[in-house]
Structure 1
Amino acid sequence: MKKCVMIMFVLCLSLHISMNVEAVSPKKLSLASKSAILVDSTTGRVLYEKNGYERMYPASLTKIATAIYALENGNLNDIVTISKNVEHTDGTKVYLVEGEQVTLKHLIQGLLINSGNDAGVAIAEHMSGSVSEFAKNLNTFLMDKVGVSATHFVNPHGLFAKNHYTTAYDIAKITNYAMKNKTFRQIFETKELSWNGKEWKTVLITHHLMLKGELEYKEVTGGKTGYVNESGQTLATTAENKNIRLTVITMDAKTKSEAYNDTKKLLDYGFKYHSLI
């Protein structure tokens, strides 16, 4: 009888250990993005990565850095007068026009929610006088304050330049740093915002499909999209449940579907294998 009890005890113990090992064991993920990383937002611990430290072009993920720099170093109530240079910025816009006056906070909202490149240039000119000077100041901030080591930006928006680069790890680090700022979090999680510009009156809607609910993932708390030809699809996503907060960065996916599928795989992995650790 004692022998049977002992055998049953050993079997149960073995099953318990096996189940716990399965719960924390790394799982090989099939990711289409060239580079990707999953990070514990609270501790900064890397939970999974694929080429996470490889130099990449970030496209509009750059705007996460621009936003937190402006939030920490500017006065949100400042009135910014839009220049001709801002009006003629290429790419995605909030359609600012020369002479228009906008608060710095509203420019940051237009930068993050609608990915306005013109808002980025307006912020740069207001903060530093020019895009080139802003880039120098931004790089110093990212190195000295955020602690990145493989990032070099030459503009505030992420339009392609050969010497404008970063890594998935650095973008995750910048995002986690930014998320400590209450105003940044509020803007980063915004799904819709009224925009009453001089020439453009509309409702801005986040481009991030998970955040706005077009692709359902209820734990998602914020996000930023990016794309230029040279970078492919880039995506930054934050999410949390009652046990853990996660940050996912995917870079150089060929399609939006690949970027979002990879993000979902990484979030699923993080919540399944690391929520209770």
Structure 2
Amino acid sequence: MSLKKTILFISLIVLFLSNNIYAQEQQQKLLLNSEAVILIDANTGEVLYEKNSDQVMFPASITKILTAIIAIEEGNLNDSVTVSENARQTGGTRVYLEPGERVTLDKLVKGLLLNSGNDAGVAIAEHMDGSVEAFARRMNRFVDEKIGFNHSNFENPHGLYDEDHVTTAEDMAKITQYAMENPKFRKIAATKSLKWDGEGWDTVIYNHHRLVRQRDDVTGVKNGFVGQAGFTLVTSATRDHIDLIAVTLKADTADLSYVDTERLLEYGFENFQTYSISATGEVFNEGTMEYVFNEDLTFTASKGEEISEDVNNGELIVKNNEGELLVEQPLTQVQKPEKEEKVKKDVKASQVNGVSSVNAFMVILALGLVTFFIIKTRNRRKKRFFY
């Protein structure tokens, strides 16, 4: 082996080892029990931390995040829903709906998210599509068309075990990011408690997500458990500098799922920040050219990072204080207003000058014709006199 190849081989080994050491340090720092996790910036979608985030797993009741946003966006929340015997017989956690009971779709969504009502999920599915199977097809179509991924497959609206009902931590983060953009969903997901007045159950229901009730910075959204899935948890939280979404799948206990989630949240809050550059008002210069944004630019970087902006070949280049590239954004070229005004004046002046030149030419031509006719007339008179 040549010296050059030997040096390259050693360099690759050092790089590989250093990356693995960094990854191991990151995992050891958070000491997570859950089998799969992901933490993202809710505004940019940037992945801040992950472990097995693309591993296909069982979601349990965090499925209800998807069911709820579908009902909110594609249903009429004022609809009166008649509960079926099939919905009443659904196992697991319930809001104790009675056959023939009439409940608004809005109330069913609240019972679904806050108290994890499996019976509410079936009632929603049957009302919107006639059956659980048909609603499941809607669920898969919805994520494919509106959210855009294909690693998950949903077979029911509640998350009770089905071997074909699967998702990933990454997919659930994307579903939650989408859902949390809806004001109605956000309001329900953040509700701590609700008076429930039903035919079979008159009580106060409390949000099953502990951190919603315990932490002011947590804004939702859903916990879950079935034996095959372990304990699952999806959490949204916000502070002044960043909004986060954390997903943990298959923790050994409920307590450990919450411990993992809080470690993820603190890691995100302590280390990252969402930055934004407004599309309105700010003009970027490159030489004599001016550029603007068509839409706001948001990106994630280290918390408290010093950001520098520069324009190169019509693109905005954003770097941190160490010179590392954070984001590139194409810009739209604009013409300076004063230049436009000058062009208009020049055009007007040339038009006026053109008109003046034409008028002068016509006057000269007229004078020439008059002189010609006078001379010709005199010549005729002279000829008549001599004859």
Question: Normalised by the size of structure 1, how large is the TM-score?
Answer: 0.88
Amino acid at match of 2:247: I
Match of 2:246 among 231, 245, 248: 248
Shift of 1:27: 3.5
Measure the CA separation in 2 of the matches of 1:218 and 1:186.
Answer: 14
Measure the CA separation in 2 of the matches of 1:148 and 1:105.
Answer: 28
**Secondary structure of the equivalent of 1:123?**
helix
Measure the CA separation in 1 of the matches of 2:185 and 2:127.
Answer: 19
> Is 1:101 matched with 2:102?
yes
What is aligned with 1:224?
Answer: 222
Q: How does 1:31-46 map to 2 (within 5 A)?
A: 31-46=32-47
Q: How does 1:128-143 map to 2 (within 5 A)?
A: 128-143=129-144
Shift of 1:218: 3.1
Measure the CA separation in 1 of the matches of 2:187 and 2:101.
Answer: 25
Identify the range of structure 1 (140-149 vs 193-202) with the bigger mean alpha-carbon deviation.
Answer: 140-149
Amino acid at match of 2:269: F
> Is 1:238 matched with 2:236?
yes
Measure the CA separation in 2 of the matches of 1:132 and 1:27.
Answer: 42
Amino acid at match of 2:173: A
What is aligned with 1:113?
Answer: 114
Amino acid at match of 1:176: Q
Measure the CA separation in 2 of the matches of 1:170 and 1:156.
Answer: 16
Which structure has the larger Rg over C-alpha atoms?
A: 2
What is aligned with 2:145?
Answer: 144
The one-character-per-residue Cα deviations of 1:79-100 (angstroms, maximum 9, x if unpaired) are 0000010110111000001000
Measure the CA separation in 2 of the matches of 1:246 and 1:142.
Answer: 21
What is aligned with 1:6?
Answer: none
Amino acid at match of 2:147: V
> Is 1:162 matched with 2:160?
no
Measure the CA separation in 1 of the matches of 2:150 and 2:265.
Answer: 25
Measure the CA separation in 2 of the matches of 1:167 and 1:230.
Answer: 14
**Secondary structure of the equivalent of 2:212?**
coil
Sequence identity (%) = 52
Structure 1: 5+ residue runs without aligned partners? 1-25
What is aligned with 2:270?
Answer: 272
The one-character-per-residue Cα deviations of 1:86-115 (angstroms, maximum 9, x if unpaired) are 110111000001000000000000000000
Superposition RMSD in Å: 1.0
What is aligned with 2:92?
Answer: 91
What is aligned with 1:123?
Answer: 124
The one-character-per-residue Cα deviations of 1:168-198 (angstroms, maximum 9, x if unpaired) are 0000100010001110000000000011001
What is aligned with 1:10?
Answer: none
Shift of 1:222: 1.0
Measure the CA separation in 2 of the matches of 1:59 and 1:259.
Answer: 14
Shift of 1:208: 1.0
Structure 2: 5+ residue runs without aligned partners? 1-24, 274-302, 306-387
Runs of 4+ more than 6 Å apart = none
Measure the CA separation in 2 of the matches of 1:117 and 1:37.
Answer: 26
The one-character-per-residue Cα deviations of 1:203-227 (angstroms, maximum 9, x if unpaired) are 01011111111xxx33211121100
What is aligned with 1:257?
Answer: 255
Measure the CA separation in 2 of the matches of 1:188 and 1:162.
Answer: 28
What is aligned with 2:197?
Answer: 196
Amino acid at match of 2:252: K
Measure the CA separation in 2 of the matches of 1:106 and 1:268.
Answer: 34
Amino acid at match of 2:256: E
Measure the CA separation in 1 of the matches of 2:66 and 2:269.
Answer: 26
**Secondary structure of the equivalent of 2:43?**
coil
Measure the CA separation in 2 of the matches of 1:212 and 1:201.
Answer: 21
Greater relative contact order (Cα < 8 A, sep 6+):
1
Which structure shows the bigger proportion of residues in strand conformation?
Answer: 2
